């Protein structure tokens, strides 16, 4: 299964700040460039991240926004090489900060990948085709606040519950949503947090019905540029919110499940193949005539006791060694097999071989190619004793 490289989906123009920049400068940079986080260059060479959730936490804690970023305990961002693929990116991002830094062999920052980028690199068909959203919503958490609640109160609830957004209700009806983008804008402008959230929320609130499949919901989110999908029940009430983190976890878990199932099938096939090879080895060992099997390069893969006795050698010493070096009289037989490197015919008939003790022996041989998917995969050589026994070497 093919997954695109992180380099192909990454944002190349990374917004970075030095450690001596203030929190307020970080918030303003995020608002100016329309991003939800900025990379902070720390003195220890690590890449750290300042995100919208950090701004909310700092504000609710009362941390002055003129505080230098270097003095904060900001989380480190995982790093990967640009040629890592999307699946590796999902595995490394996990429950972390929501982005990855791409660094070259010298440790230079060459790009950044967000959850949005990772979702863009996933074929929606790999998620599911027919499963409806309502089947996936059990246990999902989302924050609902009243339209008249002050922003400060909403921020406190967002931080306490680990939410990055809040759905705003006017009575029982959904009226809007306070997103990370709204949060960044408010804090960058140093706006009053005592105003009702209804005055700063994003509207209108786009929702999808619970009958939507994941594919349909993901296509809707991409079309409208949404970071999360708000789902309604049939009666119009809110069922829940599907986040990018949730979709990535869903995809990763399903891919791992598929991989494990494929791996089990492969192991079963390998066990069956080993059993068949063991059975054929018993048959080959019981043959009265000699049997030599080579790989495509002419090295011996198997030799039965009858062949070893004819050639006057120990079978165990021959496996893996080139047939041409050990038994020159047989090497041309393998070369002349169809699909082999030289002649398109199978040799057969009598042949005089020199044994390991320098004596000569006449044998009848038959050589047959081994073909796999139309390609030459080796040869099988059958040997029969001919004549009255070994002859002295001249």
Cα 385–chain centre separation: 56
Spatial distance between the Cα atoms of 273 and 202, rounded to a whole number of angstroms = 61
Contact at 8 Å (CB) between 182 and 202? yes
- Residue-level pLDDT, tens digit, the chain, 394 residues: 567 889 988 999 899 999 999 999 999 999 999 888 999 998 778 899 999 999 999 999 999 999 999 999 999 999 999 999 888 888 888 667 889 999 999 889 999 998 888 877 676 565 554 556 766 665 567 899 999 999 999 999 999 988 888 999 998 888 999 998 999 999 999 999 999 999 999 988 888 898 888 778 878 887 887 878 888 888 888 888 877 777 776 666 666 666 677 777 777 777 777 776 666 656 655 565 788 888 888 888 888 888 888 888 887 777 888 877 766 656 565 655 554 444 344 456 677 777 778 788 888 877 777 777 677 788 888 888 775 444 444 4
Residue environment code for 313-342, b if the CB has 16+ CB neighbours within 10 A, otherwise e? bebeebeeeebbebbebbbebbbbbeebee
Residue-range domains of the chain with CATH: 6-120 (3.10.580.10), 124-250 (3.10.580.10), 287-391 (3.30.450.20)
């Amino acid at each position: 299964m093919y997954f695109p490289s992180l380099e192909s989906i990454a944002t190349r123009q990374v917004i970075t700040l030095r450690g001596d920049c203030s929190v307020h400068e970080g918030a303003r940079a995020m608002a100016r460039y329309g991003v939800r986080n900025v990379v902070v260059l720390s003195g220890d060479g690590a890449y750290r991240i300042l995100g919208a959730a950090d701004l909310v936490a700092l504000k609710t804690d009362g941390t002055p926004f003129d505080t230098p970023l270097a003095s904060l305990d900001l989380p480190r961002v995982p790093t990967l090489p640009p040629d890592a693929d999307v699946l590796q990116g999902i595995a490394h991002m996990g429950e972390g900060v929501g982005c990855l830094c791409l660094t070259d062999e010298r440790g230079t920052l060459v790009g950044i990948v967000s959850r949005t980028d990772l979702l863009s690199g996933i074929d929606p068909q790999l998620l599911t085709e027919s499963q409806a959203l309502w089947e996936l919503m059990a246990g999902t958490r989302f924050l609902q606040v009243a339209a008249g609640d002050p922003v400060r109160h909403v921020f406190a609830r967002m931080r306490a519950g680990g939410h990055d957004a809040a759905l705003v209700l006017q009575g029982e009806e959904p009226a809007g949503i306070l997103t990370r983008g709204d949060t960044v804008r408010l804090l960058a402008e140093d706006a009053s947090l005592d105003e009702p959230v209804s005055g700063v929320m994003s509207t209108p609130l786009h929702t999808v019905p619970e009958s939507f499949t994941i594919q349909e919901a993901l296509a809707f989110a991409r079309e409208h540029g949404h970071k999360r999908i708000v789902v309604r029940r049939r009666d119009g009430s809110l069922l829940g919110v599907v986040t990018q983190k949730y979709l990535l976890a869903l995809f990763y878990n399903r891919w791992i499940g598929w991989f494990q199932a494929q791996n089990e099938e492969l192991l079963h096939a390998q066990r069956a193949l080993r059993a068949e090879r063991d059975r054929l080895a018993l048959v080959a060992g019981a043959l009265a005539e000699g049997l030599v099997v080579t790989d495509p390069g002419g090295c011996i893969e198997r030799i039965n006791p009858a062949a070893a006795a004819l050639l006057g050698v120990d079978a165990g010493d021959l496996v893996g060694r080139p047939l041409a070096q050990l038994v020159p009289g047989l090497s041309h037989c393998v070369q002349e097999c169809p699909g082999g490197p030289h002649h398109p015919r199978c040799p057969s008939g009598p042949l005089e071989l020199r044994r390991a003790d320098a004596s000569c022996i006449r044998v009848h041989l038959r050589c047959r190619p081994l073909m796999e998917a139309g390609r030459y995969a080796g040869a099988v050589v059958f040997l029969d004793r001919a004549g009255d026994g070994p002859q002295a070497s001249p």
